[in-house]
Amino acid sequence: MRLYEKYRASGFQLLGVNIDDDPRNAVASATKLGITFPVLLDGDKRVAKLYDLSTMPTTLLIDRDGTLRHVHKGYREGYELTYDQQVRELLKA
């Protein structure tokens, strides 16, 4: 969320994809976490299959042309620094 707040004025878009079968669970989770970016519901798992979202969380960085540039499976402390650098590079392009 910090990256979204930091870069959205520069054109950065952040979309969450929730694959829960029950949309109420997705809404409850987003509310509990204080999510401020849009969360898409993928109940039929089309997006999950398209991008192989078998690991949660999976972070995909897609450039302005729609090309998938970076994939991060899972999460570890400190990943934000890598995400920040990659987002900045993509915004310059």
- Percent of the chain at pLDDT exceeding 70: 100
Per-domain boundaries in the chain: 2-92
**Structure confidence by residue, pLDDT tens digits, 43-88:** 899 999 998 888 888 899 999 999 999 999 998 888 999 999 999 9
- For β-strands 16-18 and 39-41, DSSP reports them as parallel
Query: Tell me, what's the pLDDT at 91?
Result: 93
- Mean pLDDT computed over every residue of the chain: 90
Report whether 69 contacts 46 (CB < 8 A). no
Residue 30 pLDDT > 90, yes or no?
no
CATH number of 2-92: 3.40.30.10
Full-model pTM: 0.78
